[in-house]
Structure 1
Amino acid sequence: MNIDINIINKIARQAGSEILKFYDEDRDIEVSRKSDDSPLTKADMASHRAIVSGLEKEYPEIPVLSEESEIPDYSVRKNWNRYFLIDPLDGTKEFIKKNGEFTVNIALIDENEPVLGVVYIPAEEVLYFADAKEGSFKQVGDGPVQKIEHARYSKDKPARIMVSRSHRGNDTKERLAGMGIEVGEEIPSGSSLKICFVAEGKADLYPRFGPTMEWDTAAADAVYRYSGKNGPVKSPLKYNKEDLHNPEFIIGL
């Protein structure tokens, strides 16, 4: 079955609308804690319900794995050839700070690789989306859909690197220097936007030497993979591993 990316875009926008119901309120955002001490809000769960409901209605035969759902055992997951991998609200810390840098992430994983990805920024009405056949695109509000591309980074020039606004690493420059990469500029941002900025050429690299999960990266990883000027580019990330943690990675090399 073919997946209509326009339907996935619509589901992401609907989830974003659910998030903004909590974001636009004047009172402080209520925060609880998950077992790993990461923050959880009512907006996370409202977005989760909107996405899962939308996907199950349109594509009932495709499993859905969400950050906010119970994770099926690997003995079950390893038999999934295709499934949706979602992060209903990526950048919960940025959502709580109300700085706008949080996203809705929906990816379709096929044989351990993302073949479709949608990243939506509700606070700015910015949509990134990609699929393996058509490439990567960006749309602001109801404006024109624009194709986005990036050129592969070459070590003969200083790199513009994305850094996390909430998870700064102190040794990033030193580790990159050990790889022959000079850092010329650091660009802070939250959530999966960091990968999208590399995809559209606003930055050269996104090095991440701290912990992330597969749902943190999958949708934006698709946007990156299919934004190469000369066709799809390789990514260091794989999906549906027994351990859902990502290894350390550099997007853009």
Structure 2
Amino acid sequence: MLDLFERLALEAGREIMRVYRAGGAVEHKADASPVTEADRGAERIILAGLRAAYPSIPCVAEEEVSAGIVPAGLGEAFFLVDPLDGTKEFVNRRTDFTVNIALVRAGVPEVGVVFAPCTGRLFAGRPGGAGLVEVDSSFHAGRRRPIAVRAGKPPLAVVASRSHNTPETDAYIAGLGKTEIVSVGSSLKFCLLAAAAADVYPRFGRTMEWDTAAGDAVLRAAGGTTVTLDGAPLAYGKRDQPHDSDFANPYFIARGAT
């Protein structure tokens, strides 16, 4: 399955970069978030591949959900797909946007890939470990190396969102003492922790499960954790939430080995 995730992420990345280089119109969904031809094209590629290989496993994908296409039931396992995480970065011609594909089983992100097509880095995680794959300009996978979280030492490197920071996040960071701030977009925040390039990622802002599942899978495979503010592991497959929409996440803290 991880091999399939990697192949589909590379194919989706190729399509995203085609649109990135050519430019294109930006539309806005009902929640005012941006969407582009790249989002939709990448999602079509990923979903076609997943459904062909695993027709019995439901898919929850950002653009389909936005269009009202949601599986009636999820069962024990389902896929979560964000075809272009960091659309704002994409639109603003930055490089830290990603392709996210994850398998969730029993509420846990078990297998995931995060591909950053601009920089040619693909992060992958599954039970047993995580790795970083170098991808060339022709979208061929090359050298691989294992990655794992580090034991944090002061000053902690704290990952903050470039586009979605909040006063609650600032207050949490202030309570950590002396820190170094690393600002990056998309699910790469999880991957920095997984690759021992940062220590803590506090998120006191809205996210959806497709935003986090793939990066969370990579982080957990690398030895890290993602927990809600009450200390419970961040769970997936949340439906019929009394105070929020389906698949919306609560605030959380992702950590390496701190």
Residue matched to 1:148: 147
* Preserved contact between residue 161 and residue 183 of structure 1 (Cα < 8 Å): no
- Displacement, 1:38? 0.4
**4+ long deviations beyond 2 Å:** 70-74, 151-154, 168-178
1:34 aligns with 2:37: no
SS at match of 1:127: strand
1:245 to 227, 243, 248: 248
2:14 to 6, 13, 17: 17
Residue matched to 2:159: 162
Letter in 2 for 1:136: A
The equivalences for 1:134-213 within 5 A come to 134-141=128-135, 142-153=141-152, 157-178=154-175, 181-213=176-208
Counterpart Cα distance in 2 of 1:36 and 1:173: 25
Counterpart Cα distance in 2 of 1:251 and 1:234: 6
Give unmatched runs, 5+ long, in structure 2.
136-140, 228-233, 240-245
Letter in 1 for 2:150: A
TM-score (norm 2): 0.87
2:97 to 102, 108, 118: 102
Counterpart Cα distance in 1 of 2:52 and 2:25: 30
Counterpart Cα distance in 1 of 2:189 and 2:17: 21
Counterpart Cα distance in 2 of 1:245 and 1:152: 30
- Displacement, 1:105? 0.2
* Preserved contact between residue 219 and residue 225 of structure 2 (Cα < 8 Å): no
- Displacement, 1:183? 4.2
1:219 to 204, 210, 214: 214
TM-score (norm 1): 0.88
Counterpart Cα distance in 2 of 1:173 and 1:69: 34
- Displacement, 1:177? 3.8
Counterpart Cα distance in 2 of 1:73 and 1:241: 13
Counterpart Cα distance in 1 of 2:168 and 2:5: 38
Distance 1:57 1:183, change over 3 A: farther
Counterpart Cα distance in 2 of 1:172 and 1:55: 36
Residue matched to 1:235: 226
- Displacement, 1:81? 0.6
Distance 1:184 1:234, change over 3 A: closer
Deviation per residue, 1:51-86 (Å, 9 max, x gap): 000111111111111001135668x33x51111100
Give unmatched runs, 5+ long, in structure 1.
none
Residue matched to 2:111: 116
- Displacement, 1:8? 1.2
Normalized per residue, the structure richer in strand is 2
Residue matched to 2:231: none
Number of residue pairs matched by the alignment: 237
Letter in 2 for 1:43: A
Counterpart Cα distance in 1 of 2:168 and 2:126: 34
Residue matched to 2:138: none
